[in-house]
Amino acid sequence: MSLTRRRVLAALAAAGGAGALAGQGTGALLRDSEGTGGELTAGLVDLTVAYWQGDPTAVDLDDPDGVADGPRLALPIAVPADGTEGRTLLRFSLPESARGVNNPASLWLRADCPAQTTLAELLGVRLRYSDADGTAGPRIDEGSLREVAEGLRTGRRLDGDGDPPNGFDCLTDDLFVLVEYDLQGYVGSETVEFALDVAAVQCRNSDPDRNPFAPSSPDPCPPAWRCDCCWPVGKVEVDEPLEAGRTYAFDEGLVGYALDVTAVDGDSGVAFELVSTDGGPVLPLCAVAVKGGPNDAQYERPDDTYGFDTGVLDGAVDGVISAPENPNSGGRYAISYVLVSVCAPTLEGGDCPEPLAKPAASVDGPPSTPGSGDGPGPNPGPKHAGGGADTSGGGAAPPAESGETGGGE
């Protein structure tokens, strides 16, 4: 039976544990973390933020799940038990005081970068203006959690009436924002934090477009991938020379990943990008083994380097990786297969996901590519913690017997 990439990754996430993001009623609390250091301007007014989790059409607006008073918003995210998607409805309001309703105010958000975790890259987040029943309106921002946080790093003004195409208005009544999120293709047991600063500045006698968080020029959020494990996920068998411009699905491993070939060097070298064929997320390359003759030539990512094409691998020449040298001819063997490993965090308990594709049993001897490191086979070296370990106790899904036919368009 073949396994789709989405199905097996979801199974691994459920079996290995998705930290505080998997399970009904649980959630990674978005709470205080390192700030960006920007100063707030004068003229701030009181602001109350309430939130409701789950189906926004079924909430009681008089009974929020939580209320945040003050400039720091700790927003909880709870992914439903099926581990797919969830929603949180936010309400920004100016509370009444003894003197009546607060002055109209311009509303601003600022975010800190989340911790560097694979979860921060694979947790999709969408912020949209909304009405009180959760009907989504214009988009504020969307992307991975890291991308959304980066977009809010220096402060972003929200439209007070949720209709930005008509210009940014000051907040005078309740403003609703819908936070939609989905967890796709996650493997591991990480948790994540996402801290938001909220500021409301009175519009009277001040410039409502003036950023209250200025001056603030924080560094962009760095890539958040983790590469604790070099996880073999698929193999393309090569019966005919690979061709540039074609996409080859895995013959063995996960359905949903494919190699988009960008260049070839005869029948012995290839450059490609790892792509998704079903719209799901793609994990960055960790290592690629290119078999020709009796050996594999192995190419690995440098430390702290993440990418999805072979150009990021040590030993690649203009992005091309090649089969081992043929000592009899002085050239290189023709490629017989390409085995791909991707970066993944450890599962709960510290094990790595079980390999879903393996090198041929006939592979003989050490890697033939000078300077290559630990390979993506069943027992990589200590650089990749626990790679290929027996994860039967961790509940990892079994390897696929087959995938889609390789060499297809």
- pLDDT tens, 198-235? 888 888 878 889 898 877 667 888 887 889 999 999 99
How many domains are there within the chain? Answer: 2
pLDDT beyond 80 at 137: yes
Tell me, what amino acid is at 259?
A: L
* 160 and 257 both lie in a single domain: no
HSE (side-chain half, CA atoms, 13 Å) at 294: 6
Q: Is the residue at 214 inside a domain?
A: no
pLDDT beyond 70 at 238: yes
CB within 8 Å of 147: residues ≥ 6 apart: 221
How far, in whole angstroms, is CA 205 from its chain's centroid? 43
Q: Which residues pair with 68 in a beta bridge?
A: 49
**Confidence at residue 91, expressed as pLDDT on a 0 to 100 scale:** 94
Instruction: Identify whether 215 is preceded by a cis peptide bond (ω within 30 of 0).
Output: yes
Q: Is the residue at 38 inside a domain?
A: yes
* 183 and 87 both lie in a single domain: yes
* 285 and 179 both lie in a single domain: no
Q: Is the residue at 406 inside a domain?
A: no
* 173 and 233 both lie in a single domain: no
Tell me, what amino acid is at 229?
A: C
- Mean pLDDT (the chain) is 77
Which two three-digit tokens encode residue 72? 């720091």
Q: Is the residue at 385 inside a domain?
A: yes
Q: Is the residue at 190 inside a domain?
A: yes
Domain C-terminal end among 185, 202, 219:
202
101-120 average pLDDT score: 84
pLDDT beyond 90 at 156: yes
pLDDT beyond 50 at 94: yes
Q: Is the residue at 181 inside a domain?
A: yes
* 259 and 374 both lie in a single domain: yes
* 29 and 126 both lie in a single domain: yes
Return the top range by mean pLDDT from 87-101, 115-129, 335-349.
335-349
- Closest to 347 measured CA to CA, from 11, 2, 106: 11
Choose the weakest-confidence range: 44-58, 287-301, 313-327, 376-390: 376-390
* 286 and 182 both lie in a single domain: no
* 152 and 288 both lie in a single domain: no
SS3 229: strand
* 172 and 251 both lie in a single domain: no
Range of the domain at 157: 19-202
SS3 296: strand
Q: Is the residue at 194 inside a domain?
A: yes
What is d(CA 252, CA 254) in angstroms, rounded to the nearest whole number?
A: 7
Q: Is the residue at 374 inside a domain?
A: yes
* 156 and 243 both lie in a single domain: no
The more confident residue out of 49 and 194 is 49
